[in-house]
Amino acid sequence: MLTNNKNVLNWVDEMAALTKPDKIVWIDGSEEQLEELRNLSISIGEMERLNEEKLPGCLLHRTALNDVARVEGRTFICSREKENAGPTNNWEDPKVMYPKLRKLFDGCMKGRTMYVIPYCMGPIGSKLSKVGVELTDSTYVVLNMDIMTRMGADAFKQLGDESNDFVRGLHSKAQLDEENRYIVHFPEDNTIWSVNSGYGGNVLLGKKCFALRIASYQGWKEGWMAEHMLILGIENPQGEIKYISAAFPSACGKTNLAMLIPPKAYLEKGYKVWCVGDDIAWMRIGPDGRLWAINPENGFFGVAPGTNEKSNPNALASTRQGTIFTNVVHNLDDNTVWWEGLDKNPPKNAVNWKGEKWDCTDGSKGAHPNSRFTAPAKNCPCVSKEFDNPNGVPISAIVFGGRRAKTAPLVYQSRDWNHGVFVGSIMASETTAAATGAVGVVRRDPMAMLPFCGYHMGDYFAHWIEMGEKLGDKAPKIFNVNWFRTDDEGHFIWPGFGDNMRVLLWILARCEGKADAMETPIGYEPKPEDIDIEGLDIDLDTLKGLLDVDVDLWKEEAKGIHEFYAKFGDRLPEELKKQLATLEANLNK
């Protein structure tokens, strides 16, 4: 037993009585216990050990073929009142859902071990951190949670012996039955139940389930924010660091931006970029009245395909030690891994993500498009020295972005906080393989939170507006970026990657009152000459094109926004209706 907390002990007893495991193992987080679990995983075929010289401490895992991505259709927010889940979440009455799930969990761990995983989201000792306990029958989950969270006995110290403020997570692979796969959140009960999946996004309950769906609800009730945002610091040649948080839907370059490497000319001047987090930010108003953020996670759960030396050298470096690779290609010649977009040399003697012998010349994909790496943040060459700071970092700018071929310009700034909330609420992007469903469809994804908001999205928008009122003139400035404008042949015009820093520097200059802007119908834009394009294969006219606001396209966009807003009925804040009316008036001038 690692704790005397009766709330924890009683709950573990109750869940064990339901699932009936053969034995219960409490996870203390020690290297000795973890090594035992790695060896066990290998012996039961759950994992394979990779080349110790080239990839020390790294493991390979394959999921079931029917279990390769988050299943949004099977993900529920079960608030007691349907209205509180809102129109963008799947809802079921807890009185119906609990009995339904109990049947699936009843005896599902017979013949198996239940692992009790205490974990802390955020630095141990931080007032901004929260504790969870996940019960699981999967060694894969234990080993991934060790990378992704601060897992083990210290989490129970953070909780203390009396507190009941912990998130209760119950997971079982059960039969991996697709028809009975459920990822269910009970926000008012601080509870998550996940059954019949083994895929990370559905079963690492500290990740999207707790850190976003449950935490967004907690933040609403407790006056803070849990957001689907990266956090990065930009250090200027004088050694001053300013922090930006940014929200992008999946496959919009979020991890690449979080670990950005400045262009050569900037490195030579002494600019540096530091990664605090690549996916989730918990933000609270600090004693100084500013917005402060922590990354609740301790690792990266990144998409492998497309990660390479050019697109994201820091992410690649993060995977070279102590990493778990899921659904990638196994190179049998040297016992390493490969995926599409890693390099131009697919292995000749290999096994694909399904575990089948793979011939790279037959046109089939070797790695699943949503294959993953779970890598320790401490491996990242640009990890911030503030990563474990219990106070977090102060946020100067909030950036929204999506993947739009024509509509959104390269960058624009909101006129004020409420306009910024509007800009975040109308975010749209083209879909990717990270969620099951069609690829390439334009989909609205407010603040990149559509799949992750644990309560009514209208109330979520209102919470943002309220946070702005509390922050007053200390609120971060809000911007929107789009790295994905294309020409008529469909080629990206902006070079992206490290060169995105050129746009971030204008953003920070705006925050410091050091750069001018032009007013457009949608917000403030840089004067083209204020974005440094020296050394780029782009001229001033091309940049002007990237900043162009096509009024006709935006009029179409406004229609789409009306349609989207209609979903929220009377829970849509009046302020956002006003902002939409202002946009339309500006477009008609």
Catalytic center residues: 252
Three state DSSP letters for 17-77? HHHCCCEEEECCCCHHHHHHHHHHHHHCCCCEECCCCCCCCCEEECCCCCCCCECHHHEEE
Phi, psi of 87 (to 5 degrees): -75, -15
Residue 383: both structure tokens together: 């990890």
Amino acid at 359: D
Q: Rounded to whole angstroms, how far apart are CA atoms 128 and 277? A: 15
Beta bridge partners of 59: 49, 324
Instruction: Mark the binding-site residues, compressed into ranges.
Output: 70, 199-201, 208, 228, 250-256, 279, 370-372, 403, 497-500
Instruction: Mark the binding-site residues for Mn(2+), compressed into ranges.
Output: 208, 228, 279
* Residue 2: exposure state from Cβ atoms within 10 A (0-12, 13-18, ≥19): middle
Instruction: Mark the binding-site residues for substrate, compressed into ranges.
Output: 70, 199-201, 250, 370-372
Residue 236 contacts by C-beta under 8 Å, 6 or more apart in sequence? Answer: 242, 270, 271
Residue 212: both structure tokens together: 């976003």
- DSSP strand pairing (241-247 vs 393-401): parallel
* Residue 476: exposure state from Cβ atoms within 10 A (0-12, 13-18, ≥19): buried
446 DSSP 8-state letter: G
CB 213 within 8 A of CB 453: yes
- Neighbouring C-beta atoms of residue 347, cutoff 10 Å: 18
Q: Rounded to whole angstroms, how far apart are CA atoms 215 and 225? A: 8
